[in-house]
Structure 1
């Protein structure tokens, strides 16, 4: 334990003494989390829209007035030619055109037709915005014809109730997903880079002639990375996620931090394994790219695990990131306690032991070959 303590101190001095590494850690847990959480998501925001109203009826003016921020910018009145040219220049995303007889046809009980043009170079926003505008046109027309803001009640109505995120704010989920991404990337990269740094600087030979075991050397690198990244995670959770982004944590914050520590153990073991496999920093960088992309994409942060193919779902059971994201969502959003999330904690710890054992076996072999 004394040897591990001093080796951890050496690793901490090495990491914290590197200004570039400190800047990378601060960027990852402050700026990167904020940018990823508040960036473009699955909602329409501040979309530029033009309205071509050839009838100027009360109905069309009512529909135009319903196109409001934060989903849309203030609608700009244009002619058809102006709207087409503005869309060609990329100045507007949507152009909603009403013919002269739109309101008259609606009052007469006919099926009025309005034209919506969308700039589909932004595919997601174009699709979502078209749905928004269609719903707005239908609801405002129904309210206008019925003479009541509520409109006629259909015989069958679907009522949507959101659990745990009543306003449907995507920042809540994306902030936690971003924290997972930064935890994975930094932990794997720092642990593997620490191992390669010893080899490239030739200090691994110094460690080999000292009265140290491979377990002590490996544990020191894993624990040092865990300490640095966990401190950064706690700061980001308190000051960025809860402070700046205003994401509430429904459950126990200490439990969330404890789960992050368990995940860090597993991620650091993966980094140790990659750092032992690689023979140069270039090889390690390629291995990190090959590993970190599946870790992030298949964890459930970019899409539901249930939507993946059956075979892929089974493979993701070996990814600690999948279990950590399920754990974090349960604690942060649903207020789950230890009695609910202990299986995820156990699986993450077990995967960490398996990856560490594999990396330790390779490390022993590499040290014996070097000797």
Structure 2
């Protein structure tokens, strides 16, 4: 046992030195856990931030001025007051995402009981802001018109008052969700990439033949790759959460980081084994990259990180219970978002341990077969 541990340790150190001499992998790790997390958190698809809006005010009434003053940060940039002749040219040039046209006699027709119409032009090529922003504009305009018509601010008291209390994210800041989910997804992706690339790199460089003549077993070789690549991903994930998520994005973490990274280590045991298995199927890095894309996309999209699992078909939910990412996303969201303890997430820990053991055994069997063919 002592010699096995020494072999696993020394082989793992060799893997770390091999990774250190691979600048492209180092750049990928640095980018994914820094700029990748930051940009994803700041550019969530449904986020409306500083949208450019222009207003053609042909009415020039107190109501039109009131509507124009209702658009403010952070959802909208300060409105640009333009003429009718500037609208089409500005839309064609992409200067405006929204152009609101308030026609003449808009306030007079409203007070006279008529149904005046305002026109909203939307640049739908900016999809992330067009769909959510048009709803915001309609709500703002209708709210100001209703309040003006009632001659006072505020709506009538409804018969039932609904008291809303937002937990875990009281400001409804979408960057909180986006940053932590990206860290969870990147931990999964990088562990598969690094473990698989380590095996393929040895095959391409011819060092796998050197290992075959050494007094080491396939299990020791696999364990070395698992702990070394898992350690790199854990350190990168810790740096991303503490420096990028908490430091730059100011996202609070509700739960225990040591508990989260313990669950991450169990997930890495499964995903690194998966990466090694995929590397035994691929002959080179391009093939491994194609195989990884076919694997990582379902793991990220169907594990509950992007969309709730409850909205998926029951068959998909059942199948994805065999994926380690499903349980990792559940425990990650429970710990980081809701501050859950071990008494809440222990089923996910047990599931990750069982899945990791099964994937390691399967990968070890395939790895032994591959080595036997090479020998």
RMSD: 1.6
- Report the CA distance between 1:156 and its aligned residue: 5.1
In structure 1, C-alpha distance between the alignment counterparts of 2:114 and 2:331, rounded to whole Å? 53
Deviations 1:314-342 (A, max 9, x none): 22222211211111111111111000011
Q: For 1:41 and 1:126, locate their aligned partners in 2 and report how far apart those are by CA, in whole Å.
A: 11
Answering whether residue 241 of structure 2 is matched by residue 241 of structure 1, we say: no
Cα shift at 1:311 = 2.3
User: Does 2:165 correspond to 1:161?
Assistant: yes
Asked whether the equivalents of residues 44 and 175 of structure 2 are also in contact (C-alpha less than 8 Å), the reply is: no
Q: 1:310 aligns with which of 314, 325, 338?
A: 314
8 Å contact from structure 1 (residues 272, 356) kept in 2: no
Measured in 2, the distance between the counterparts of 1:157 and 1:91 equals: 42
The alignment partner of 2:275 has SS state of helix
The answer for the alignment partner of 1:135 in structure 2 is 139
8 Å Cα contact 2:44-2:174 kept in structure 1: no
Displacement of 1:124: 3.7
Q: Does the Cα contact within 8 Å between 2:8 and 2:220 map onto a contact in 1?
A: yes
| Cα deviation digits, residues 19-50 of structure 1 (max 9, x gap) | 33222211111111111111243121111111
Aligned counterpart, 2:334? 330
The range that moved more, 129-138 or 303-312, is 303-312
Among 148, 154, 159, the residue aligned to 2:152: 148
| 3-state secondary structure, aligned to 1:149 | coil
What does residue range 8-87 of structure 1 map to in structure 2 within 5 Å? 8-87=12-91
Match of 2:104 among 100, 113, 137: 100
8 Å contact 2:45–2:128 — kept in the other structure?
A: no
Work out the number of aligned pairs and report it. Answer: 371
Aligned to 1:271: 275
**CA–CA distance in structure 2, aligned partners of residues 90 and 155 of structure 1:** 45
Answer yes or no: is 1:184 the counterpart of 2:188.
Answer: yes
Deviation (angstroms), 1:85: 2.1
Return the TM-score normalized by structure 2: 0.94
Q: Give me the whole-angstrom Cα distance separating, in 2, the residues matched to 1:256 and 1:293.
A: 23
SS in 2 for 1:66: coil
> How far apart, CA to CA, are the structure 2 residues paired with 1:200 and 1:35?
34
Which residue of 201, 204, 207 corresponds with 1:203? 207
- Structure 1: where are the runs of 5+ without partners? none
Post-superposition CA distance 1:125-158 (Å, at most 9, x none): 2121111011111211222233332232344565
Distance 2:142 2:285 in 1: 59
1:237 shift after superposition = 1.1
Tell me the alpha carbon deviations over residues 40-85 of structure 1, each in whole angstroms, 9 at most, x when there is no partner. 4312111111111111111111011001111111111222232122
Q: What CA deviation, in whole Å up to 9, does each residue of 1:108-136 have, x standing for no partner?
A: 33333211111111234212111101111
User: 1:216-231 maps to which residues of 2 (within 5 A)?
Assistant: 216-231=220-235
1:238 shift after superposition: 0.8
Whether the aligned pair in 1 keeps the contact of 2:71 and 2:78 (CA below 8 Å) is yes
Q: Give the Cα separation in 2 of the matches to 1:161 and 1:143.
A: 25
The offset of 1:309, in angstroms, is: 2.5
Do the aligned partners of 1:266 and 1:320 also contact (CA within 8 Å) in 2?
yes
1:95 offset after TM fit, Å? Answer: 1.0
Q: Deviations over 1:276-325 (max 9, x none)?
A: 11122221111111111112222222222222233222222222112111
Question: TM-score, normalised to structure 1's length?
Answer: 0.95
Q: Judge conservation of contact 1:185–1:292 (CA < 8 Å) in 2.
A: yes
1:41–1:170 contact (8 Å) kept in structure 2: no
After TM superposition, give the deviation of residue 159 of structure 1 in Å.
Answer: 4.9
- Whether contact under 8 Å (2:44, 2:178) holds in the other structure is no
Give the conservation status (yes or no) of the 8 Å contact 1:230–1:260: yes
Aligned to 1:296: 300
Gaps of 5+ in 2: none
- Asked if 1 retains the 8 angstrom alpha-carbon contact of 2:53 and 2:96, the reply is yes
